[in-house]
């Protein structure tokens, strides 16, 4: 099993490096791959010498991982040092909601209008040096001479005064570290404001129908979690109410999570749909809930606030539910079948946060040789933590990917996302339950859509909140160290 995981890890690592950073660094792909795979090779060598039953010491996991990540970062940065006159490659441009390029190049503006465009860039704000015409886009490069926030607002106002609503104005950071402006033809301008206002985004009827269907499917799953065979419902339908604690708990967590996104998006006047649940008659009874935003994100501050609002809201409601559920759960002996995702015999030491919450709720009943048979409400709370952790993964268009994008910029977020995927694959060598997560993350693109002003950085308060969110992710997915477990 370990060999196949190592093989999968090696192939996945190579593909990730090749597709993610091969175009933005001159460091050989094989060298980056070798550096990232070094911790896995060391762990595999330990297992080969000492056997799978003897766990490796923590230092053998932590120090090689830290050194390899540091070396990877140094090699990546050295390879990114481009000549001063090198233009950013075409692949860097990621436009929100932009239409597909037409077969023949189309100039968004006429040559006669170029002078008017240049006049929109005061030399004291953004000294324009070069204008590139692309299919359905105009790229304006130059030197920033004021704060990014002031520059974006001034240039945007000037362009709207000169060209009206013909263009969406995007301010993005290039791979060479220099910010540039992009003018994209505004497809929505063709629609009258009346038609946009009449377009019904919320569809409350559909949202209510999906909510009701998901309540039914999660209740049926909750009946099984409560230990009741579904066939018994034929003789006593009142047993269906045994599934409501799980169903209501899980749907409350998922709903509050999405409403956190929804309400925050509304505060920034971002057009968005209501939360829609996804019912399924198996698994957890649902594949979660989602909203769709139908207008671009104005700036990185909005991107951060909308993204982090969901996990925070979901976590706040998860805490009391899981504490109540844990206090009504049964302590059972620890067995070989006990695992992280086994709710019939959950080993709390597989997660730092769950171990701490279990100790708080169960007190002296819980020992190092104990597992927990979760109450249905505790199952819902446990799944709420899993949903929070999965959403906080700093990869692509997950909430965590948006958060690191807003904190560090799109270029650094791509690297962080790649490292996160590889670390989760490495963690799956220790906890096989994470292998499915790691595979799912491989199919999530690393590139996130930019905000309209994707250059202005966040304030210190939001940066701190983002780091705390990443800390929450770590204490959910990392196992409790044995040294701390003995103190319990």
Pairwise CA distance, residues 148 & 253, whole Å: 38
What's the Rg (C-alpha) of the chain?
Answer: 26
Residue 266: Cβ within 10 Å count: 12
- 454 close to 301: Cβ distance less than 8 angstroms: no
Q: What is the pLDDT tens value at each position of the chain, 488 positions in all? A: 455 556 666 666 666 666 666 666 777 777 877 777 787 777 777 777 776 667 677 677 677 777 777 787 777 777 754 433 333 333 344 455 444 444 444 567 777 788 999 999 999 999 999 999 887 789 999 999 999 999 999 999 999 999 988 899 999 988 778 899 999 888 765 554 545 544 566 678 889 999 999 999 999 999 989 888 877 877 888 888 999 999 999 999 999 999 999 999 999 999 999 999 989 887 889 988 989 888 889 999 999 999 999 999 999 999 999 999 999 998 888 776 666 666 667 888 888 999 999 989 988 887 777 888 899 999 999 999 999 999 999 998 899 999 999 999 988 898 899 889 888 888 887 777 787 788 778 777 888 888 999 999 999 999 999 999 999 999 999 888 876 766 66
Residue 268: Cβ within 10 Å count: 17
Listed residue (460, 311, 436) closest to 8, CA to CA: 436
Pairwise CA distance, residues 273 & 22, whole Å: 37
90-195: CATH architecture: 2-Layer Sandwich (3.30)
Q: What is the DSSP string of 360-412?
A: HHHGGG--TTEEEE--HHHHHHHHHHHHHHHHHS-STTSHHHHHHHHHH-HHH
- 114 close to 131: Cβ distance less than 8 angstroms: yes
Backbone φ and ψ for 116, nearest 5 degrees, come out as: -60, -35
β-bridge pairing 276-279 and 179-185:
unpaired
- 455 close to 171: Cβ distance less than 8 angstroms: yes
Question: What percent of the chain is helix, strand and coil (3-state, nearest 5)?
Answer: 60, 10, 30
Pairwise CA distance, residues 262 & 307, whole Å: 10
Locate the domains of the chain by residue range: 2-79, 90-195, 204-416+443-485
């Amino acid at each position: 099993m370990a060999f196949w995981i190592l093989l999968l890890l090696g192939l996945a690592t190579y593909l990730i490096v090749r597709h993610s950073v091969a175009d933005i660094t001159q460091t050989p792909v094989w060298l980056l791959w070798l550096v990232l795979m070094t911790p896995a090779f060391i762990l595999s060598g330990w297992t080969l010498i000492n056997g799978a039953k003897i766990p490796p010491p923590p230092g053998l996991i932590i120090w090689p991982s830290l050194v390899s990540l540091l070396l990877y970062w140094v090699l990546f940065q050295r390879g990114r040092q481009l000549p001063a006159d090198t233009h950013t490659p075409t692949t860097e441009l990621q436009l929100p909601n932009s239409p597909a390029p037409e077969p023949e190049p189309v100039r968004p503006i006429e040559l006669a209008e170029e002078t008017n465009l240049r006049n929109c860039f005061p030399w004291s704000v953004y000294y324009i040096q070069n204008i590139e015409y692309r299919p359905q886009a105009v790229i304006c490069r130059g030197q920033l001479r004021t704060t990014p926030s002031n520059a974006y607002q001034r240039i945007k106002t000037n362009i709207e005064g000169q060209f009206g609503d013909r263009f969406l104005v995007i301010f993005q950071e290039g791979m060479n570290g220099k910010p540039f402006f992009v003018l994209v033809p505004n497809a929505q301008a063709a629609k009258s404001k009346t038609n946009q206002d009449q377009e019904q985004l919320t569809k409350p009827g559909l949202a209510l129908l999906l909510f009701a269907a998901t309540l039914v499917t999660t209740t049926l799953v909750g009946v099984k979690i409560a230990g009741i065979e579904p066939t018994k419902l034929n003789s006593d339908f009142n047993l269906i109410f045994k599934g409501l604690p799980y169903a209501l708990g899980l749907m409350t967590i998922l709903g509050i999570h999405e409403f956190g996104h929804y309400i925050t998006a509304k505060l920034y006047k971002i057009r968005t749909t209501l939360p829609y649940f996804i019912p399924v008659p198996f698994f957890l009874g649902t594949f979660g809930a989602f909203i769709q935003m139908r207008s671009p994100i104005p700036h990185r501050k909005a991107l951060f606030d909308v993204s982090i609002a969901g996990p925070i809201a979901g976590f706040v409601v998860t805490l009391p539910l899981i504490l109540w559920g844990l206090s009504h759960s049964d302590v059972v002996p620890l067995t070989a079948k006990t695992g992280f995702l086994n709710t019939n015999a959950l080993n709390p030491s597989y997660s730092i946060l769950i171990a701490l919450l279990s100790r708080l709720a169960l007190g002296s009943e819980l020992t190092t040789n104990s597992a927990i048979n979760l109450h249905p409400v505790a199952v819902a709370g446990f799944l709420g933590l899993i949903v929070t952790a999965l959403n906080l993964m700093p990869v692509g268009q997950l909430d965590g990917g948006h958060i690191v994008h807003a904190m560090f910029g799109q270029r650094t977020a791509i690297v962080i996302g790649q490292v996160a995927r590889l670390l989760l694959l490495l963690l799956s060598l220790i906890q096989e339950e994470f292998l499915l997560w790691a595979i799912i993350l491989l199919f999530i693109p690393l590139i996130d859509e930019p905000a309209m002003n994707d250059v202005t950085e966040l304030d210190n308060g939001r940066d701190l909140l983002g780091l705390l969110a990443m800390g929450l992710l770590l204490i959910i997915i990392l196992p409790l160290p044995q040294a701390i477990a003995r103190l319990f």
